[in-house]
Structure 1
Amino acid sequence: MDTAPSPDDARALLDWYAAMGVDAALEDVGQDRFAESAARLRPSPAAEPLPAQPAARAPASAAALAAAPDETAAAARQAAASAATLDDLRAILERFEGCALKATASRTVFADGAPGARLMLVGEAPGREEDLSGLPFVGRSGQLLDRMLAAIGLERSEVYIANVIPWRPPGNRTPTPQETETCLPFIRRQIELAQPDVLVALGGSAAQSLFRAKDGILKLRGKWLDYDAGGRSIRAMATLHPAYLLRSPGQKKFAWRDLKAIRRVLDGA
């Protein structure tokens, strides 16, 4: 005999759905797809033909699915280049329909902290907490990032934080190469407009995207690079992502070395 699930069982099921990235219900009423299939197979009685109905209007984000990768990347470059200020860039991103991720995200996660700060940090993409809040690095990894900054005498309000991808991928999956290439012009323009003295890529994905690097993060981290920000060369480095450090706390010693090196450059040493 079937019984209703207990409150604890229901709560555990909801927690599992959230962990799998399911955070929205698509329909309030269930659909019997088997009955629908059977109905389509039954012959229908003769009837006068119905007047033609206008085709359903496709959502604006469908353009992102239909356009060729080269077209969307070119549109992104043109849109990003037209931004004269960070506020312009944010508004352009809110209007941009060339990336399918925007259709599944709750909101655009643009940045947090102080525009014009000397230190800019860039991660890969927002997670669930960031998608809900509209701010980057606010979950567990963000809390660790705050402690990492505090260890070298910095508050979140004193740095500028963004992501390569401004929209959360469904289920926190890895962004596709096309999604990354579409979003790259925007983060590059964001770096140019923010004009930091030091740029830090958090994690291998962000470093490979920004620096066009091939190596993994354990080989990339801790090495100073020159990053071209619109004709202005700035010091840049990759370090370990806070989420990786939560999974591998034994690697924190390497992140600490990177943080001390960043502090020395900020101090002019």
Structure 2
Amino acid sequence: MHPADFVFPAAGVKLPPGGLVLQTSDAAQRELESLLEFYLASGLDCFLEEDAVDRFALSAELARAQAEARTSAPARPAAHSAPIQSGGPAQQSRPQAPASPTREPSAANAPISGGAFADAVVPDTEAIHAARDAARTAQTLDELKSCLQAFNGCNLRLTAKNLVFADGNPNARVMIIGEAPGRDEDLQGKPFVGRSGQLLDKMLGAVGLDRSSVYIANVVPWRPPGNRTPTPQETEICRPFIARQIELAAPDVLVFLGAASAKTLLDVQDGIRRMRGRWMTYDCNGRKIPSLATYHPAYLLRSPIEKRLSWRDFLSLRQKLSEDANS
């Protein structure tokens, strides 16, 4: 059901026993539509259980149970004490303490088997090194995609439905890089196919480009749960793969959508307002690639007044491509 099909009661209006009021003000209806859109953007697109499940507690319980299983040893029978042969009367009359019975492992302490987080890993430096080693082995983009599909060092793969590797033309002169996929991208396995992607297509079309003339990817190829921001550890683990992807695609120009992707790959700390519209350089193993940062389409959907600045950025991109073609 579309959010527009719902009607929300105005503030202060009591609900009848039957549920929501069916007719109310337009402002209240827009309020509900915004709330439902927020839930969808946060990944809450269906109800799986009546009660909330604390996944953090489950993963902590899993780690604790696995640690106990590794360190526990078979219980040894209690040794029988030898009779006391000497000592004072107090020692001879002291009763022997009964041997403690062997405690059977309870269901609560039993190792947890299976489950969505059974293959979870610790996102430490070892995972980062494993990502670097795996990315180096790829000699083509297809091999790199296979490496990512087989890579188990990033826990985002456990909650994502699909790997979102790339879309467009890998031989294009322009490579566009975002931060991470969203709900629609996760469902289809392609980057920028939701509302942000539709706006990006219009922005590209305005300067004579389309998906056949650009190559699109993300720094993080798996959707974070609820469209949350990827953690620094998750970004750092995925960074070797996007760096190798840039190297194999060998574009003439890089376009970063949003500050996150630009900061990750350009090692800068400026905000997007200071970075956008300014040509920078990405060092790809000694090859200097001109790079341009601009606003993310998702931000432009929330702040349409900033589209004028993104339009200037894309005009600058078109001019750069034209200059390089004529040189």
Q: TM-score range by the shorter chain?
A: 0.7 to 0.9
Shift of 1:60: 8.5
Q: Take 2:46 and 2:147, find their aligned partners in 1: how far apart are those partners? A: 27
**Residue type of the partner of 2:146?**
A
Matched, 1:23 2:45: yes
Residue aligning to 1:178: 233
Q: Aligned with 1:77: secondary structure?
A: helix
Question: Does the CA contact (< 8 Å) of 1:61 and 1:98 recur in 2?
Answer: no
Residue aligning to 2:145: 90
**Residue type of the partner of 1:79?**
A
Matched, 1:225 2:277: no
Residue aligning to 1:43: none
Aligned partner (choices 278, 289, 292) of residue 237 of structure 1: 292
Residue aligning to 2:134: 79
Q: Aligned with 2:323: secondary structure?
A: coil
Matched, 1:141 2:214: no
Q: Take 2:268 and 2:296, find their aligned partners in 1: how far apart are those partners? A: 16
Q: Take 1:255 and 1:95, find their aligned partners in 2: how far apart are those partners? A: 37
Unaligned runs of 5+ residues in structure 2 are 1-15, 23-31, 53-102
Q: Take 1:160 and 1:15, find their aligned partners in 2: how far apart are those partners? A: 29
**Residue type of the partner of 2:269?**
K
Q: Aligned with 1:225: secondary structure?
A: strand
With CA pairs under 8 Å and 6+ residues apart, which has the higher RCO, 1 or 2? Answer: 1
Identity over aligned residues, as a percent?
Answer: 55
TM-score between the two structures when normalised by the length of structure 2: 0.68
Q: Take 1:17 and 1:258, find their aligned partners in 2: how far apart are those partners? A: 32
Aligned partner (choices 107, 127, 132) of residue 162 of structure 2: 107
Q: Deviations over 1:208-241 (max 9, x none)?
A: 1111111110001111112112332211111111
Q: Deviations over 1:95-139 (max 9, x none)?
A: 111111110111100000001210000001101111111110011
Question: Does the CA contact (< 8 Å) of 1:64 and 1:72 recur in 2?
Answer: no
Q: Take 1:59 and 1:97, find their aligned partners in 2: how far apart are those partners? A: 16
Q: Aligned with 1:268: secondary structure?
A: helix
TM-score between the two structures when normalised by the length of structure 1: 0.82
Shift of 1:172: 0.6
Q: Take 1:14 and 1:239, find their aligned partners in 2: how far apart are those partners? A: 28
Aligned partner (choices 154, 159, 163) of residue 209 of structure 2: 154
Q: Describe the shift of the 1:15–1:137 C-alpha distance in structure 2 as closer, same or farther (beyond 3 A).
A: closer
Say how many residue pairs are matched: 248
Please, what is the CA RMSD of the aligned residues? Answer: 2.8
Q: Deviations over 1:39-85 (max 9, x none)?
A: xxxxxxxxxx97999844456965543x3521111111111111111
Matched, 1:208 2:263: yes
Q: Aligned with 2:191: secondary structure?
A: coil
169-178 or 230-239: bigger deviation: 230-239
Return the index of the structure with the highest Cα Rg. 2
Q: Deviations over 1:4-55 (max 9, x none)?
A: 768x8xx98987753442235545x879xxxxxxxxxxxxxxxxx9799984
Q: Describe the shift of the 1:205–1:62 C-alpha distance in structure 2 as closer, same or farther (beyond 3 A).
A: farther
Unaligned runs of 5+ residues in structure 1 are 32-48
Residue aligning to 2:182: 127
